Chain A
Amino acid sequence: MINIQSLWSKRVKEYWRMAIRYLRLIGNSGFLFTVYILIVFGSYYYGIFLDELPASFPTEVFLALVFALFLSKVRVRTFLKEADVVFLSPLEGKIDRYFRTSFFYSLAVQSAWLLLLTVIVTPMYADRITANVGALFASFLAFVLLIAWNMYASFNEQRLQERGVQNIHLILRFVANVVMTLFVFHLVNVFVLAIGFIILALITATYYQRLGRNHSLKWDQLVEIEDQMLTMFYRIANSFTDVPRLKTKVRARKLLTPVLRLVPYAQQRTFHYLYSRAFLRSNDYFGIYMRLTIVGSLLLIWIQTDWAQWFIVVLFTYMTGLQIATLYRHFHTNHQVDLYPIAKSERQQAVQAVVFCLLLLQVAIFTVVIVSSHSINLQMFIAFVLGVGTSGVFTYGWMRKKLLA
């Protein structure tokens, strides 16, 4: 029999080898510099923000809610894989140690995140609650205990079959977390806090232990949770570099479906039909598009210099183009598209047409934003022409080269 414990360490190592590769890529992508800038500017504005924050601001409640949210969402990283549902599930009674190791590993990782969160709120804490470092340190320790409790609880809640029942547990746990974090931030007497912890311990010993004894592990859900946690990492990495393993999650976006009806029913429109749906529902092309459009529009409202506005229109059209141009390889792994009796050149024209339309729409939005903050004049006209020009050069120049390559 294979040693399950060595399986665990093998998987953790595998994960970190992969993670470090991506982290290195992120580090090389100029991200660290951005973080540095963010810290410099952030801390400056943070100071101003604290000065301007009214004295009546309920700091304790605010911090309690933030920490309670964080605590309620901690989960055990199990490193399970889909195939484990078949191969490991027969060992369910014997792999407590596997999960215990996972538990302590996750506790360490979550504590690191807690540390980061604590560092971020420290100025606010020192400004509004107490400048006593000991109190902050004690709070941190209390939160580590709460992470452990929440992880144990959420791991056992996963054994419950019904999502609805699980959600009720989550809400109740959130309430308990709010109470405990309020205790911590109100600097209540240590004994009150201790009583809180004793109650949690009692709940654990009576209720959660019983859940563990009476209900089997729900392997499907464990794998799903593991998938979600891994996907979160991939998604972050994906904004800096291409992550092929990122499973695409499809969103229906029902409200926008009528827009898709604009593609007429015709053989020549087959790939317009396909690519427009891929854009709207898959891989967050739509999310990136919206974000860039909104950020661009805000900048246009904020910065009123003519030439700067032209620059923004060109830059954001180009950046959006870069992001959504990856649509062209969206169906590379699906053989079905190769079967259709439609020439490859038509497929390429379709993806270019979709990208071009989307860029034009964005340019139109930018123009409307400029008009609404200026008035109809030459400046708006120049911005519009530059935007349309960029869209055209991007789609029929840059993208065409990529497609023919």
Chain B
Amino acid sequence: MEEVLKVQTLKGGYQRNKPVLHEVDFSVSSSEIVGLIGLNGAGKSTTIKHILGFMEPFSGNVTIQGRTFLNDPETYRSSYTFIPETPMLYEELTLKEHLELTAMAYGVAEDDYKKRSKKLLKEYRMEKMANWFPSHFSKGMRQKVMIMCAFMVSPPLYVVDEPFVGLDPIGIKSFLDHIVSLKERGAAVLMSTHILATAERYCDRFILLHDGEVVVSGTLADLQAQTGLQGASLDDIYVHVTKEDVR
């Protein structure tokens, strides 16, 4: 397994004297789904912004396939797609045009675009809405557009921020099945979420972030061993780890 995303002793945030992230260290390899878990304000979004190349680290670095953003912005950007927590759509583009634009932007061949868009529209039950504008979409539909756009491209890395909010059960299932099949084809997936039961079932490893630091990380068995909670669920571990801080 090749390490696709590597975050090394990342110190980052908005102000140099008040960093949000302290020495964050983790990696995501190909054929692996890693869950990024933490309370509100733990630093998940900041970590993701650093990975996307929207923020520059104060020290440490983030690489995708060995490249940092500043090395080669275009190649870096083409090596991942991102599903944001709040859908960002173009109000002046129809659903189909969102897919076409994304395919164009990432250099997907036209034939592949046509095949994939047909499949995606069917899978997410959005065929009827293909020519609709976003103003007619519900929150869940908007989220589906973002998911479909991300899956239009096949980059080595997928960065997913809280994908389940607003999705209907069938949408969630399609999404998870899709993620698993991408993993089987060798993709690396970093998924930030609060839905721990789902994370426990689908993620191979976890990174528990608290106050900008990685508190524990590893497989569920690793986490159980590190916290001394044999047989505990991810939920229990999560509560245990974050409670210690309160004490």
Chain A residues within CB distance 8 Å of chain B: 248, 250, 252, 265-267, 269-270, 273-274, 277-278, 280-282, 331, 334-336, 338-343
Contacts and interface: CB of A to CB of B under 8 A. Distances in A.
Given A250-B133, A265-B110, A265-B113, A342 B105 contact: yes
A341 B105 CA distance: 7
Contacts of A343: 73-74
Interface of B: 52, 54, 73-78, 81-82, 84, 88-93, 97, 100-101, 104-107, 110, 113, 133, 135
Contact of B106 (A248, A252, A281, A341): A341
A249 to B, nearest CB: 9
6 contacts: A250-B91, A270-B104, A274-B101, A278-B92, A280-B92, A341-B106
Given A340-B77, A340-B106, A342-B105, 11 more contacts: A248-B91, A250-B91, A252-B133, A265-B100, A270-B101, A270-B104, A277-B92, A336-B88, A336-B90, A339-B81, A341-B73
A267 B100 contact: no
A216 B76 CA distance: 55
Contact of B90 (A266, A334, A340): A334
B93 A277 contact: yes
A248 B76 CA distance: 33
A280 B90 CA distance: 13
B92 A341 contact: no
Contacts of A339: 52, 77, 81-82
A384 to B, nearest CB: 32
A250 B92 contact: yes
Contacts of A334: 88, 90
Contacts of B88: 334-336
Contacts of A335: 54, 84, 88
Contacts of A277: 90, 92-93, 97
Contacts of B77: 339-342
B54 A340 contact: no
A156 B135 CA distance: 27
Given A250-B133, A334-B88, A341 B75 contact: yes
A265 B135 CA distance: 25
B94 to A, nearest CB: 8
